[in-house]
Structure 1
Amino acid sequence: MIAIDSMMVCLDLSEIDEKLVAFTRSICQRLPVKKVYFVHNIKANELSEDFQKVFGDVDLGSEIEGNIADIVAEQFAHAADYEILVSEEPNTEVILADIVKRYEVKLTLLGKRTSDKSTGALGTKLLRILPCSVLVLPEKANFETARVLTPIDFSDASVHALRLSKSLVDQLNLNLEIMHVYKLPTQYFPLISEEKAVRKAEEVVKAKFTDLQKRHREIQGVPYSLIRAAGKSIAERICLQLQNGKHDLLVLGLKGNNPIPSLSLGSVPTELYNMDIDIPIWLVYSEAVIK
């Protein structure tokens, strides 16, 4: 059973905040959540001199906290125990990572605007530095979830994401699909038959699925798709599968094997995050990786 002891919701005082708070309420209504932290960091060093001159005597932190409190009162309606945290630090990523550690946050919710409105630079940094799983909510996403897609590469991280997905769909009565994207060594064509190479590659992957189902019997019977990359990146193939299958949630495992945090996210999650995908993306670390 999936239960979240503590959850952090990152607000930036933009139009997406109301949607984030409402989505948090939706999560709390579906899953057991003990405590929610609504957080915002004021980068005081980025405030202009004109602002300081005109509003220098204003307690900006209190004003922002009051604004967030109004949104929470309207959109959250005490769906769970919560606290509002407003800080004034020069580095937002560091203070948010500190909150995750201090309050033992298990899941962070991030909003994401479309690429024509935001570069997504802060979000990418947070994905790399936050020591917890992250749920990304695009501004055009809806709250209805019926179909979940979990791509796997048979690594421990992807198997963890798959098992979490299975627990989630069982708990909420959803549908789950597994996919694997494989690539062929095209540099050897036409020295070897392409048809034979495809057949052999799929035999190998099917054998891996069979072994996975033997080790994790809870995923037996879950439908899966074998997709050839065929000139596209893995992330592009995942995106196409999302569109064709009309999925509502994407769950990806994060490895975190590299001791350098900035290199632990992986190219596929990074590429998917930077795409304009209109469904939530749940990027999950295992407890072992976080520790």
Structure 2
Amino acid sequence: MIAIDSMMVCLDLSDIDETLVAFSRSICERLPVKKVYFVHNIKSSELSDDFREFFGDVDLGNEIEGNISDIVNEHFQNAADHEILVSEEPNTEVILAELVKRYTIKLTLIGKRMSDKSTGALGTKLLRILPCSVLVFPETANFNIAKVLTPIDFSDASVHALRLSKSLTDQLGLSLDILHVYKLPTQYFPLISEEKAIRKAEEVVKEKFSDLQKRHQEIAGVPYTLVRAAGKSIAERITMQLEKGNHDLLVLGLKGHNPVPSLSLGSVPTELYNMDLNIPIWMVYSEDVIKQ
């Protein structure tokens, strides 16, 4: 059973805040969540001398906390125990990573605007530095989640994400699909038959699936799809499968190769994050990776 001891919701005082707070309520209504922290950092380096001269000694932190409190009261409505945290630090990523450690945050919720409105630079930094799993909610996504897609490459990270996805879908009565995108060593064509290479590649992958199902019998009945990259990136094939299958949530396992807080995001998750997807992306680190 999936239970979240503590969740952090990152707010930036934009129009997406109301959506994030409402979505956090939806999460609390579906999963056991003990406490939610609504956080915002006032980047002190961006407060110009003109601002300070014009507004004087106004307590900006208190004003922002009041604004967030109004949004929480309207859209969260005490769905779980919660607290509002407003800080004033020069580096937003660092203070958020410290909050994750201080309050043992298991899941962080961040919003994402379409590429024509934002570069997404802060989001990418947060994904790389936060020592916890992250749920990315695009501004165009909705709360109705019924069908989940989990791509796997048979690494420990992807298997962890798959098992979490299975627990989630069983718990909430959702549908789950597995996807594996494979590539062929095209540099050897036409020395070997392309048709033969495809057949052999799929045989190898099916053997891997069979072995995986034997080791984790809870996923034995979950349907899986094999897709050849065929000139497209793995991320592009994943997005095509999302559209084809009308999935509502993408769950990705993240690999950690460096000590926290410099967790390794990986090229496929980075590419997917930078795409204009219309569904939430749950990027999952295992506990073993986070404790490294």
Task: Kindly indicate whether residue 72 of structure 2 is the aligned counterpart of residue 72 of structure 1.
Answer: yes
Task: Kindly indicate whether residue 242 of structure 2 is the aligned counterpart of residue 242 of structure 1.
Answer: yes
Corresponding letter in the other structure for 1:222: V
Could you state the TM-score of these two structures normalised by the residue count of structure 1?
A: 0.99
SS of equivalent residue, structure 2 residue 221:
coil
> Which residue does 2:283 correspond to in 1?
283
| 1:53 to partner: Cα distance | 1.1
Contact 2:131 2:263 in 1 (8 A): no
> Which residue does 1:157 correspond to in 2?
157
> Which residue does 1:133 correspond to in 2?
133
**Mapping for residues 72-221 of structure 1, pairs under 5 Å:** 72-221=72-221
> Which residue does 1:58 correspond to in 2?
58
Corresponding letter in the other structure for 1:49: D
CA distance in 2, matches of 1:66, 1:92: 20
Structure 1 residues 260 and 5: CA distance shift in structure 2, 3 A: closer
Task: Kindly indicate whether residue 6 of structure 2 is the aligned counterpart of residue 14 of structure 1.
Answer: no
Identity of aligned residues (%): 82
CA distance in 2, matches of 1:241, 1:283: 18
CA distance in 2, matches of 1:102, 1:276: 32
Could you state the TM-score of these two structures normalised by the residue count of structure 2?
A: 0.98
| 1:57 to partner: Cα distance | 1.6
Contact 2:131 2:261 in 1 (8 A): no
Q: Deviations over 1:19-67 (max 9, x none)?
A: 0000000000000000000000001221122211111221000000000
Q: Deviations over 1:263-291 (max 9, x none)?
A: 61100000000000000000001111111
Q: Deviations over 1:159-180 (max 9, x none)?
A: 0000000000000000000000
Q: List runs of 5+ in structure 2 lacking aligned partners.
A: none
CA distance in 1, matches of 2:138, 2:274: 11
Runs of 4+ aligned residues of structure 1 deviating over 2 Å after TM superposition are 257-263
Aligned length: 291
Task: Kindly indicate whether residue 41 of structure 2 is the aligned counterpart of residue 31 of structure 1.
Answer: no
Corresponding letter in the other structure for 1:172: L
Corresponding letter in the other structure for 1:78: N
CA distance in 1, matches of 2:287, 2:52: 44
> Which residue does 1:273 correspond to in 2?
273
CA distance in 1, matches of 2:216, 2:194: 33
SS of equivalent residue, structure 2 residue 226:
strand
> Which residue does 2:47 correspond to in 1?
47
| 1:260 to partner: Cα distance | 7.5
Corresponding letter in the other structure for 2:241: Q
Contact 2:5 2:33 in 1 (8 A): yes
Contact 2:131 2:260 in 1 (8 A): no
SS of equivalent residue, structure 1 residue 86:
strand
CA distance in 2, matches of 1:136, 1:273: 8
Q: Deviations over 1:205-260 (max 9, x none)?
A: 00000000000000011000000000000000001100111000000000102347
Larger deviation, residues 48-57 vs 85-94: 48-57
SS of equivalent residue, structure 1 residue 134:
strand
Q: List runs of 5+ in structure 1 lacking aligned partners.
A: none
Structure 1 residues 26 and 260: CA distance shift in structure 2, 3 A: closer
| 1:261 to partner: Cα distance | 5.2
When the two chains are superposed, the root-mean-square deviation of aligned CA atoms in Å is 0.9
SS of equivalent residue, structure 1 residue 190:
coil
SS of equivalent residue, structure 1 residue 168:
helix
Corresponding letter in the other structure for 1:164: L
